[in-house]
Amino acid sequence: MITRDLDFFLDDGRKEMPSGVSAKEVRCKVALPLSNLPGLDLALNPYVGCEHGCVYCFAPDVLKRDRSDWATRVDYRANLPVGLSRELKTKRGVIGIGTVTDPYQPLEGVLLLTRKCLMEISRHDNPISILTKSDLVLRDLELIIATRRPEVGITVTCTDEGLAKRIEPGAPSPRRRIAALGELSQVGVNSYVMIGPVLPFLEDHDLSALLMEVKAVGCERVMVDRLRPRPGLDEALLGAKVLRTTSCLTDFAQMGRQARYIRDECVRLGLRFESAF
- To ligand SF4, the closest distance from the beta carbon of 133 in angstroms equals 4
Cβ(197)–Cβ(237) under 8 Å? no
Residue 57 CB, nearest approach to ligand SF4 (Å): 3
Counting contacts by CB under 6 A, is residue 57 touching ligand SF4?
yes
Q: Pairing state of beta strands 148-155 and 127-132? A: parallel
Q: Cα separation of 168 and 46, whole Å? A: 20
CB of 107 to ligand SF4, least distance (A): 11
Residues that bind ligand SF4 (rule: CB under 6 A) add up to a total of: 9
Q: Is 102 a binder of ligand SF4 (CB under 6 A)? A: yes
Q: Is 53 in the site for ligand SF4 (CB under 6 A)?
A: yes
Query: DSSP label at 46?
Result: -
133 binds ligand SF4 (CB under 6 A): yes
The CA distance from 249 to 225, in Å, is: 14
For the bound state, the minimum distance from the C-beta of residue 24 to ligand SF4, rounded and expressed in Å, comes to 17
Q: Which of residues 82-101 bind ligand SF4 (CB under 6 A)?
A: 101
State yes or no: residue 59 binds ligand SF4 (CB under 6 A). Answer: yes
Please state, in angstroms and rounded to a whole number, the distance separating the CA atoms of residues 29 and 211: 41
Q: Residue 201 CB, nearest distance to ligand SF4 (Å)?
A: 17
Whole-angstrom distance, CA of residue 136 vs CA of residue 57: 20
Minimum Å gap between C-beta 216 and ligand SF4 is 24
Listed in sequence order, the residues at least 6 apart from 132 whose beta carbon sits closer than 8 Å to its beta carbon are 98, 102, 103, 104, 152, 153, 154, 155
Is 53 or 150 the residue whose CB approaches ligand SF4 more closely?
Answer: 53
Q: Which is nearer to ligand SF4, 57 or 211 (CB)?
A: 57
Q: Does 54 bind ligand SF4 (CB under 6 A)?
A: yes
User: String of b and e for 145-184 (b: at least 16 CB within 10 Å)?
Assistant: eebeebbbbbbbbbbeeebbeebbebbbebebbbbbbebb
Instruction: Closer to ligand SF4 by CB, 51 or 140: give it.
Output: 51
The minimum distance between CB 227 and ligand SF4, in angstroms, equals 11
Cβ atoms within 10 A of the Cβ of 54, count?
22
Q: Does 50 engage in binding with ligand SF4 (CB under 6 A)?
A: yes
Q: Which is nearer to ligand SF4, 70 or 201 (CB)?
A: 70
Contact residues toward ligand SF4 (CB under 6 A) are: 50, 52-54, 57, 59, 101-102, 133
